[in-house]
Structure 1
């Protein structure tokens, strides 16, 4: 699985960013509300949490 993920990251490297971390940490990083989000609309992503 690691090799496939690396290949996928390489394909999207020039146009995308990947962030890996615990859900709560990622919510704080992206912003939990419009007032503290890093970029417009990112607070919406932090509301969606999934466990792999």
Structure 2
């Protein structure tokens, strides 16, 4: 459940979609959320281009 932001800050997250995160490296090392998962997070490829959220 340990992940790392792009600025290397480590955080823990437990609001995963069903079956996530996977243990497969083929699923990717990045995390995102989508409406199809009701806002819950899923593991994605870091090569996937998508929208982003800025906070701060």
- TM-score, normalization: structure 2? 0.24
Higher strand content, 1 or 2: 2
Q: TM-score, normalised by structure 1?
A: 0.25
Looking at CA atoms only, which structure, 1 or 2, has the larger radius of gyration? 1
Structure with greater proportional helix content: 1
